[in-house]
Every structure is written in structure tokens, then in C-alpha cells.
Amino acid sequence: MADGIEGKLPQGVALTAVSRLVGTLRAGSTWPVTMGLACCSIEMMASGTGRFDLSRFGMEVFRASPRQADLMLINGRMAHKMAPVVRQVYDQMAEPKWVIAMGSCASSGGIFNNYAIVQGVDHVVPVDVYLPGCPPRPEMLIHAILELHAQIKKEPLGKDRAKVAREVEQAALAAVPTAGMKGLVA
């Protein structure tokens, strides 16, 4: 016999915290907007096919409008000319919103260490999950989505959530660019 409230409830009634329930519902209903900037986009498109089946996660339709999406998948290298466009699309997305940087170029500029390429999309938008590889396989994208789902389930609720998200975004955007880091090479 269970002690406490669990023993007094009829069979079939579940107890959970509201924040845990909301996190689970949010994780199961992420709608992606695509920012296919280069060759990694082919792998992202392949992840939506029947072989990999993103519809298991409720993500079978990539949204063309950022106002219908809450997850941005940034694929490939980002030119400096494209950065304001990506930021505008990010700002138009529904709250709460998340970003996955897919591929080495999106994560760190990849092999393109020159004046035209942004050395990591985290200088333009805050990134929640980095997905390495050149190009990363669709299985890796699915793993990154599952990692993001785990993060979403743990996100807090409350009036300060937006304030905390803004502070984290400002700290990420104010970070020293990797090109400015000297480390052991001086």
C-alpha cells in the first residue's frame, strides 16, 4: 500500500510537475525553419526522408515562415552578407526558440578561414546545440535533435525565463571570437 497522496488517487491518475509536463510537450512539438546555406543542407533534407523519418519527432514539415517555427537549423558556411538575414529570421521566430548549428562551417567557420565567412554562427545568433562534421550524417542530426529535446525538457518556467534567455544570449554574443583567441599560439 502506497503512503501519501499516491495511495489515495484512483488508478490511471498520474502526478507530475507542471514545468516537467510543459517541457515534454514543448520538446515533442518543435517546428524547424531551415537556413540551408551550403552543402550540409543536403544531409538535412535527407533526414526528412522515409529512411531517417524526422516525423517521429513531430518535425516532418520544415516551415518556410519563421513565424511558424521555433527551431532554427543553420546548415553550412555563413557569409557576412547573409548574417543580417539569418539574424532577422531568428528575431521573427516564435518564443521560445532554439538553434542547432549543423556542420563544421556553421559551428566554427570550417576550412574557410577568410574575410568572407563568419567564423561560427554563434557570433550572430545564440546556439543551443553544435553538430560537428563535414558534412554531418542525418543520424547525427537526429542525435542533436534528441540532445536539444533533453535541454528543452529541463528548461524552467516562470516570469524570469525571458530575462535569463536574454542574458545568456548577450553573454554568448559578447564572447571573444575564436579568431581573436591566441591560446598557445602567440
| Count of structural domains, the chain | 1
Does residue 85 or residue 6 have the better pLDDT? 85
Portion of the chain with pLDDT greater than 70, in percent: 84
What cell numbers appear for 68 in the block?
511558424
Per-residue model confidence (pLDDT) at position 6:
62
Q: Which domain holds residue 27?
A: 16-178
The enclosing domain of 90 has a CATH number of: 3.40.50.12280
Q: What is the pLDDT of residues 108-145, one digit of tens each?
A: 888 888 888 888 888 888 888 998 888 889 889 889 99
Per-residue model confidence (pLDDT) at position 88:
92
Any domain includes 11: no
Any domain includes 121: yes
pTM: 0.78
Per-residue model confidence (pLDDT) at position 5:
62
Any domain includes 185: no
Any domain includes 5: no
Any domain includes 8: no
Any domain includes 101: yes
Q: What is the pLDDT of residues 19-48, one digit of tens each?
A: 778 878 787 788 888 778 888 888 888 887
Any domain includes 186: no
Any domain includes 183: no
Does residue 57 or residue 123 have the better pLDDT? 123
DSSP states of the chain: ---SHHHHSPTT-----HHHHHHHHHHTT--EEEEE-STHHHHHHHHTSTTT-GGGGT--S-BSSGGG-SEEEEES--BTTTHHHHHHHHHHSPSS-EEEEESHHHHH-TT--STTB-S-GGGTS--SEEE-SSSPPHHHHHHHHHHHHHHHHH---STTHHHHHHHHHHHHHTSPPGGG--TT--
**Confidence band, pLDDT 50/70/90 cuts, at residue 182:** low
Question: What value does the mean pLDDT of the chain take?
Answer: 81
pLDDT of 64 above 60? yes
**Confidence band, pLDDT 50/70/90 cuts, at residue 179:** low
pLDDT of 186 above 60? no
